[in-house]
A and B are shown apart, each in its own frame.
Chain A
């Protein structure tokens, strides 16, 4: 365990935790956009900037992103110094210019006293904050169907060549993880479409619910060495079956 202070309050967290983890553990709120507990921290949105210092640094402070900076013994974290707040406001002001109509961005900006951006609002408003969560979750599943393309001002999230992505399995993880819900998709009992690609749904042979795409089943089967048919039964029915097996086993006993 390591012990540090955040805005003067003591936090004790396991070694390996980040400053953000420590702050959350004691209920200090630090805004984030690109952070997700299921994914490696990335440090792109810069909202979680904090000032850190240590006694032995003799007054020297540095600004770090709390989602990545490791919690260390004796670290003193300040989440709202003048320069942290000022920088965070610049970041939110810029984000609001990029996404003027996005409720999440509006709310975060509002919390920091920004109602209207002081910069030029995006002539083509978007909801995408380029937090990279969608592409990172896709990578972490092992699919990598989408990525950020181009760089700098022209950067966007897209499938290769803006064509329906051949590797996409239609799992919707990207859409689920998106903090601004800006990845459109359609799903029904018979078909699902996302990124311009259409998928056939697999129906659970027991309850008839369309719970997975054919591509998902094939991908999981290929990765896990389990027959594809295993994934056809939905999770709920698998549990029911399991429960039935246990019941029958205890009946035998």
Chain B
């Protein structure tokens, strides 16, 4: 049935909710990327089979749903049983019969599968009480984990497309843009450009043929929020795109999806077909006579294609290299036509803003950064996963609240935000409210929402070097400062981590970084020195240690670090012996162990595995110890 009026939509939603309510229980199995890798598909299949076998499907009306990413990837595969709201973590297919018997049929919980809060060691029964979820506010991710992404009826039961119905049937395009403007929505791809300004410029631009583009070429190391949104709730993205297209007067749209995201392509394709059948997309949308359709374009595997001008060139079928332009894409973008390009998350926010109103959205966040923002929380943090929280939450709340603190309760050192274009924020700034302005002031940026938490066993020089080595592969090579600058910057860093650093290296890095920032053609090159400059700004002493003392304070640079076992503290647990990949440790159980320096490759496996504080220690390989001995 095609939807052509608000009443028809309400009827569809009423029936969808009725249908959902008929399921007395729903078993939500996370089938996001992380859980899939941990075997959640087998868990879902086991549930379907087991419920059938026990006759629970008909009798109790229980239904298994394969949802998108629940976010708490660290503990996957995740299973939530609704309406009780019981969350089971790390569920295996063999747990399924017990769950069906005790929880689904019996209504009791299985303590061993519940999440254990490391803070008080207590098992948490309810999904919403797990700190990881309790501290989140979900806007773009509002339906992820709740709906079956391949079922539009299920999505509609959760208000999908309601924003479009309201926008197109009750408002004018100008009012829609006004609503987005009042909401304060800014680009979620990282630059934070005011969305409504883009839309208005495109609407006012001359020309009949206009485009809207969705940037799904998420490529930052450690970032996966766009992926999860496209996979887990493709309707929110599509709804936003159609609203945007209608507001600016575009009839053609593209979703540029990173080629490494096959499930996103599949789920978007299904959603597009279902939306067309319902009259939300295609010809004569909602019976208004407005035509708009969208094409999925799979990326070519280049990080730089996430840069808007390169993305558009790639869409045009040309080499995905950025173009220097002194006109806005809203005047001359894709195929030189007025174009609005927004990030996946930005589009996903739009429908919710229209549905709940600008004031609701603007009620969250800080003065200039409104709403909520999705992040991929990864690194040395206890609870890694996908989160969405109101702008302005502090890094401390994120790392220690939602994230649960650092693995093994080691000291926090820094959090890297914004991917290769971002920077590292040190411990002193843990109380920094996370919004566009504060992160930029701190020398980092919002970026696409990657948050990599680092502990004391992270060498900041090596971190900067890692991002350089990433970018050197991904620079398109068109302009000299980025291509040659990254190459030479990496030469300097290779020397630093190998103990060949020279006095003056820091100054050379700074000069080169300034040249790259000012001289590069696109944002990739201009922002490439950010990891370098932010680590220099906050961790200069580590650089100096590498250069002048030939030492790596974190003990991570192998060429600079040696390990030894302190005989008085070693209790002979033998773990280091087992962990050593180079057979450099000798010793028998319950006897003192020894590291043989000539064989040791300084990997630090013994240090990381040793349960006795201080029994394995590292020292600079620079000969200082030998000199001391003399």
Contacts and interface: CB of A to CB of B under 8 A. Distances in A.
B530 interface: no
Contacts of A44: 478-480, 521
A90 B514 contact: yes
A14 B459 CA distance: 56
A83 B302 CA distance: 31
Contacts of B481: 46, 87, 90-91, 94
Interface of A: 42-46, 49, 63-65, 68-70, 83, 86-91, 94-95, 97-98, 118-120, 129-130, 132, 147-148, 150-155
Contact of A94 (B471, B480, B518): B480
B519 A87 contact: yes
A104 to B, nearest CB: 14
B473 interface: yes
A49 B326 CA distance: 14
B487 interface: yes
A57 B260 CA distance: 43
B609 interface: no
B484 A97 contact: yes
B484 A152 contact: no
B488 A152 contact: no
Contacts of A90: 481, 485, 511-512, 514-516, 519
B315 interface: no
Interface in B480-518: 480-481, 483-488, 491, 508, 511-512, 514-516, 518
A94 B491 contact: no
Given A46-B480, A63-B518, A120 B474 contact: no
A42 B309 CA distance: 13
Interface residues of B, number: 34
Closest 4 CB pairs of A and B: A90-B515, A155-B477, A43-B324, A94-B484
Contacts of A87: 481, 514-515, 518-519
Could you tell me the dominant secondary structure of chain B's interface residues?
A: helix
Contacts of B89: none
B535 interface: no
A223 B588 CA distance: 83
B329 interface: no
Interface centre among B319, B487, B511 (most CB of A within 10 A): B487
B515 A151 contact: no
Interface of B: 302, 304, 319, 323-324, 326, 471-481, 483-488, 491, 508, 511-512, 514-516, 518-521
A52 B575 CA distance: 64
B324 A91 contact: no
A45 B475 contact: no
A65 B473 contact: no
A83 B519 CA distance: 10
Nearest to A156: B477
Interface centre among B323, B473, B476, B479 (most CB of A within 10 A): B479
A83 B517 CA distance: 11
Nearest to B473: A152
B482 to A, nearest CB: 8
Nearest to B327: A70
24 contacts: A44-B479, A65-B521, A69-B326, A70-B326, A86-B511, A87-B518, A89-B515, A90-B511, A94-B480, A94-B515, A95-B484, A97-B488, A118-B508, A119-B488, A119-B512, A120-B488, A130-B480, A132-B478, A147-B319, A152-B472, A153-B475, A153-B486, A154-B477, A155-B477
B487 A65 contact: no
A130 B511 CA distance: 23
Given A64-B326, A130-B483, A153-B487, A91 B477 contact: no
A152 B521 contact: no
A63 B526 CA distance: 12
B508 A152 contact: no
Contacts of A70: 326
Interface centre among B319, B483, B514, B516 (most CB of A within 10 A): B483
